[in-house]
Amino acid sequence: MKSILLIALFIALASASFLTKDEVNFINFQQKYNKVYESHEYAAKFATFKSNVGLIESLNQKAKAQNSDLTFGVNKFADLSPAEFRKYYMSAVSATPSADLPMAAELSDDIINATPVAFDWREHGAVTPVKNQGQCGSCWTFSTTGNVEGQNFLAAKNPLVGLSEQNLVDCSNNCMEYENQKVCNAGCDGGLQPIAYEYIIQAGGIDTEQAYPYTAVDGTCKFDASSVGAKITSYTMVPTNETQIAAFLATTGPLAIAADAAEWQFYLGGVFDIPCGKSLDHGILIVGYSAQRTILGANTPYWIVKNSWGADWGEAGYLKVLRNKNECGVANFVSTSIISAQ
Ligand SMILES: *[C@@H]1O[C@H](CO)[C@@H](O)[C@H](O)[C@H]1NC(C)=O
């Protein structure tokens, strides 16, 4: 009897040891995120997962080497290659800063000097819960609604109401001529906030989220003028100076921005402060800013970024990004809608 038990134990241990660490991690990943693969795609998914584990390790080493509190890890995106991730979760229309777009005048020294050292619009009821764009490159619509939701609450003094990204995905296929190029919004294939503001102005408003819910796929336009949740009168770009941006944010509301998000896929938390590109391929919203002490006692200023990759990504759907260094190009394409008194 005893020897049979020992043999059973031996077999269990031996077979367990046939699984590599990566295999065990991949099985745990599938269980945790309810991933079910077709047998023909399993090998490719596992290869992508292993490669991502290596990528996560190297990103964590970069962060550690500069005493950052930034961490990366296996999350729900660990079975997507960086190229797949770019296709599904970023905008294929790249934002280009341009003098052709309307630009707000710089704020005065008096306003700059009165700007608080830290500010968070979530504490003032101007931010809706984190949303999820799904596998659709519609980040630009979430960035736009986030800003207009804030302006509708702060400038128009309406109750905070969620606005419809699907309205923009389906209907804002208008174009804009700038930098000698014709750039058009294209639903799940990407778009830009200024073009979306122009659509909302032309249409006479944007529907509420409730009236026009999100589906994460391109559809025909079902805009309903009787379900409008907010109207805007114009929009402006904001100066690319981060001191100015902080003052604009604190005096105006959450601001729509664009950034290079290529290395945000596996972000778990901390201030994103490692070297980063400046290809503006992702639309998001800055809702505040602050600073924190690092391990070595230095002061690290950061932006509080609302993302649209679900509340189970990053810090409850949010990301902190280093401020005052134009990290990931965050200062290069900042905008806000404007609601003037009628
Ligand atoms: C950014 O704006 C601030 C406040 O107006 C100003 O003091 C500073 O010189 C500007 N920085 C640059 C690089 O222009």
Amino acid letter, residue 48: T
Of 52, 75, 139, 147, which residue is the catalytic one? 139
Residues 23 and 127 reside in one and the same domain? no
Question: pLDDT band for position 178 (50/70/90)?
Answer: confident
Residue 24's SS3 state is helix
Question: What pLDDT score was predicted for residue 331?
Answer: 98
The predicted structure's pLDDT at residue 42: 96
Residue 104 has pLDDT above 90, yes or no: yes
What are the helix and strand counts (H, E) for the chain? Answer: 9, 14
What three-state secondary structure class fits 288?
A: strand
- 124 in any annotated domain: yes
pLDDT for the residue numbered 221:
98
State the pLDDT at residue 4: 59
| pLDDT higher than 60, residue 13 | no
20 and 129 together in one domain: no
Are 88 and 22 part of one and the same domain?
no
Residues of the chain above pLDDT 70, percent: 94
Whether residue 218 is contained in a domain is answered as yes
Q: pLDDT tens, 195-232? A: 999 999 999 999 999 999 999 999 999 999 999 999 99
* Mean pLDDT, residues 229-253 taken together: 98
Decide if 46 is inside a domain: no
Residue 307 has pLDDT above 70, yes or no: yes
Name the helix (H) or strand (E) containing 207: strand 206-207
Domain-located, residue 59: no
Taking 80 as the threshold, does the pLDDT of residue 2 lie above it? no
Please state the domain count of the chain. 2
Range of the domain at 4: 1-27
Do 154 and 11 sit in the same domain of this protein?
no
Identify whether residues 98 and 206 lie together within a single domain.
Answer: yes
Residues 110 and 176 in one domain: yes
pLDDT > 90: percent of the chain = 87
Give the pLDDT of residue 8: 57
pLDDT at 37 over 70: yes
For residue range 138-175, list pLDDT tens digits in order. 999 999 999 999 999 999 999 999 999 999 999 999 99
pTM for the model: 0.93
328 falls within a domain: yes
282 catalytic residue (yes or no): yes
Query: Best substitution site from 109, 111, 115, 244 to test ligand 1's pocket, by max atoms within 8 Å of Cβ?
Result: 244
Q: How confident is the model at residue 299 (pLDDT cuts 50, 70, 90)?
A: confident
Separation of CA 112 and ligand 1 centre (Å): 10
d(CA 240, CA 154): 23
Catalytically annotated residue among 167, 185, 307, 332: 307
- DSSP string over 72-106: E---TTTTS-HHHHHHHHS-SS-----TTS-BPPP
In terms of domains, do 13 and 109 share one? no
Instruction: Assess whether the C-beta atom of 324 lies below 6 angstroms from ligand 1.
Output: no
For residue 241 and ligand 1, the question of a CB distance below 6 A is answered with yes
If asked whether residues 5 and 149 sit together in one domain, one would say no
Could you give the C-alpha distances from 12 to 8, 19, 26, 169, 269, in angstroms and in order?
6, 11, 20, 53, 37
Does 328 lie in the same domain as 235?
A: yes
In a domain, residue 185? The reply is: yes
In a domain, 73, yes or no: no
The answer to whether residues 231 and 204 touch, using CB atoms and an 8 Å cutoff, is yes
* Residue 225 counted as domain residue: yes
Burial 307-338 (b: 16+ CB within 10 A, else e): bbbbeebbeebbbbbbbbebbbbbbbbbbbbb
Q: What is the CATH number of the domain that holds 166?
A: 3.90.70.10
Structure tokens at 36: 């079910």
Tokens representing residue 289 in the block: 């800013």
302 and 213, same domain (yes or no): yes
Whether 22 and 161 share a structural domain: no
